[in-house]
Amino acid sequence: MPDTGMPEHVAIVMDGNGRWAEQRRRSRSWGHQAGLKALRRTARHGTEIGIRILTVFAFSSENWNRPAIEVSRLMDLFMSALEKEVKGLHENGVKVRFIGDLSGFKPELQDRILAAQELTAGNTRSQLNVAANYGGRWDIVNAARTLAEQVRAGELDPADIDEGRFSAGLALPDTPDPDLFIRTGGEMRISNFLLWQSAYTEFYFSDVLWPDFDGDELDRAVEAYRRRERRYGMTGKQVRDRAHA
């Protein structure tokens, strides 16, 4: 049986907060608060088992279409999470980065995000990327625009555009692509998360609603990942021969 080793970078779509709260006859916002606790547990366990990079989908470009009260409470949750969590993350050597169109957020939230990034920029133990007002298509369009501007400025010949140069314009240019993509909440779709970056990522879908996710669930996802054979378009034999070379 293959052992693919530990995933270095895990991406998570934290789905199911609303349903978890509704099952308990509470507001969806209460579910998001429980989701934040699940994120804290999962990030801590991830660091303990050697996952170096965690990228979570906290707010998609499409989430603005939710009821105004839910959006407003989510913004409050982000504000208070940034106030309460960043110090602990910093003390634990976690570098925090936000990806997405931050200009969509109110200035106070943008300021807190920038302060969190600045404070933790030098940390190297692990990295938490929070996707907020993020969309995979937005990311790709941004990269295309960056390249187009370089061409217009005469700095780049279109013939020299390749995958490496394109990736350099994406939101996580200096981060390896996710090895493992987890989605909770029973849905099996990518929902415009890291579209380009997930080209060779292994997918793991869990029926568990995100507020119930914990270290044991993460271990299950990692175990499933480790049993996968990552072939990158090669045959299984080629992969095994390379591993033993």
Tell me if 133 contacts ligand FPP by CB under 6 A.
Answer: no
What Cα–Cα distance (Å) separates residue 166 from each residue in 63, 134, 140, 172, 213?
27, 18, 9, 12, 35
Distance CA 179, CA 8 (A): 7
Tell me if 10 contacts ligand FPP by CB under 6 A.
Answer: no
Choose, from 63, 92, 123, 142, the residue flagged as catalytic.
63
Minimum CB separation of residue 72 from ligand FPP in Å reads 13
Give the interface size with ligand FPP as a residue count (CB under 6 A). Answer: 18
Using DSSP's 3-state secondary structure scheme, residue 69 falls into helix
CB-CB contact of 54 with 46 (8 Å): yes
Q: Which spans in the chain are helix H?
A: 17-23, 28-48, 68-91, 107-120, 136-152, 163-168, 215-226, 236-244
Q: How crowded is residue 174: how many other Cβ atoms within 10 Å of its Cβ?
A: 7
* Contact mark string toward ligand FPP, 161..190, x via CB under 6 A: ------------------------x-----
63 included as an active-site residue: yes
Tell me if 14 contacts ligand FPP by CB under 6 A.
Answer: yes
Site for ligand FPP in 76-115 (CB under 6 A): 77-78, 81
157 included as an active-site residue: no
Tell me if 222 contacts ligand FPP by CB under 6 A.
Answer: no
Listed ranges 43-51, 74-82, 152-160, 168-176: which one lies at the site for ligand FPP (CB under 6 A): 74-82
